[in-house]
Amino acid sequence: MFDIARQHLKTPRDLLRFAMSRFTEAGLFFGHGTDNAWDEAAYLIAHTLHLPIDRFDALLDARLLPSELNDALDILERRVSERVPAAYLTREAWLAGHDFYIDERVIVPRSFIAELLPDGLSPWIEHPELVHRALDLCTGSGCLAILLADAYPDAEVDAVDLSTDALDVATLNIERYGLEQRVTPIESDLWAGVAGNRYDLIVSNPPYVDAESVAALPDEYLKEPELALGSGEDGLDATRAILEQATHFLNPFGVLVVEIGHNRDVLEALYPALTFTWLDTSGGDGFVFLLTREDLVTGGL
């Protein structure tokens, strides 16, 4: 099919129609930056042809050179045949208006926490300048650590991950944004590498997929590092480890923000004494919780 397409397609519009048909026919799964075949195809075509995505519609009928057509079809074919997330094909992912280098060493960035920085954490953090030290646990590509540094310009940020491969990618992104003096990548199994440190704000988007869901993941997710997805039978092993030590790492008025996927009911049943604040996000109010240090102490942690 792709060989035939090389002989007949002429424009980005042709490519877009063809890609949508092939994506739908292949039953691709979307969820790494887009949620439908149209947006995914438009992004891949525009990126490959070096066209601005926000003006893509105006260029749909431009005639393509044979080399341009082949390049676009190559990346579309890989998306279909290998079921690779688009971010791994383009080596790029966007989060909160920032672009990050991404490859198979890290999970593709997609965190509701990004949209909460900084205004969504008010009134718990009244002014950005009140955050002097921040921590991103399970940093992956370093995206949330970099967004923390952007949202809180007076803060020094520690970016922690167990994976040295992930930290190599995080370092690339830290350097890309010129934040070497403010964001520090640290190899650590959660808290071990930051013992003795205290933070005004700690955020984490840890692994949180339960064992049953891991077993049913579509192929696209299986291309991501296994370490970054599953977290025990109920998906909350990492979250429990975060909660049970967090008081030791928060300043007296410190704030903890954690994303946990669809595990709200299970988490609240595990910690009935904790008063979780569930933050409103574009996905709803059941995915990201906030606890102050006082909340943790009052809840017996």
The tens digit of pLDDT for each residue in 274-289 reads 999 999 999 999 999 9
**How far is the C-alpha of 116 from the C-alpha of 255, rounded, in Å?**
13
What pLDDT, in 10s, does the model give residues 75-134? 999 999 999 999 999 999 999 999 999 999 999 999 999 999 989 999 999 999 999 999
Quick one: average pLDDT of 157-165?
97
Query: Pick from 5, 14, 36, 4: which is nearest to 23 by CA?
Result: 36
**How far is the C-alpha of 179 from the C-alpha of 290, rounded, in Å?**
26
Query: Pick from 237, 256, 238, 259: which is nearest to 246 by CA?
Result: 256
Minimum mean pLDDT among 86-95, 180-189, 211-220: which range?
211-220
Tell me the percentage of the chain whose pLDDT exceeds 90. 93
Which residues partner with 281 through β-bridges? 284
Quick one: average pLDDT of 212-217?
91
Residue 108 is predicted with a pLDDT of 96
Q: Mean pLDDT score of the chain, rounded to an integer?
A: 95
CB 132 within 8 A of CB 154: yes
Q: How confident is the model at residue 222 (pLDDT cuts 50, 70, 90)?
A: very high
Query: Pick from 268, 267, 258: which is nearest to 236 by CA?
Result: 267
Residue 118 is predicted with a pLDDT of 86
Residue 227 is predicted with a pLDDT of 86
State the virtual CA torsion across 224, 230, 235, 241 in degrees, nearest 10. -110
Query: Pick from 259, 130, 276: which is nearest to 199 by CA?
Result: 130
Quick one: average pLDDT of 11-22?
97
Quick one: average pLDDT of 172-177?
98
CATH, domain 2-90, list 1.10.1060, 3.40.50, 1.10.8, 1.10.287: 1.10.8
pLDDT above 90 for 161: yes
Residue 182 is predicted with a pLDDT of 98
| β-pair type (156-161, 183-187) | parallel
Tell me the percentage of the chain whose pLDDT exceeds 70. 100
**DSSP secondary structure of the chain:** -HHHHHHH--SHHHHHHHHHHHHHHHT----SS-SSHHHHHHHHHHHHTT--GGGGGGGTTPPPPHHHHHHHHHHHHHHHHT---HHHHHT-EEETTEEE---TTSPPP--GGGGGTTGGGTTTS--GGG--EEEEES-TTTHHHHHHHHH-TT-EEEEEES-HHHHHHHHHHHHHTT-TTTEEEEE-SGGGGGTT--EEEEEE----B-HHHHHT--HHHHTS-GGGTB-STTS-HHHHHHHHHGGGGEEEEEEEEEE-TT-HHHHHHH-TT--PEEPPBTTBSSSEEEEEHHHHHHTT-
pLDDT above 90 for 1: no
- Where do the structural domains in the chain lie, given as residue ranges? 2-90, 104-298
**How far is the C-alpha of 158 from the C-alpha of 166, rounded, in Å?**
14
What pLDDT, in 10s, does the model give residues 237-281? 999 999 999 999 999 999 999 999 999 999 999 999 999 999 999
104-298: CATH architecture: 3-Layer(aba) Sandwich (3.40)
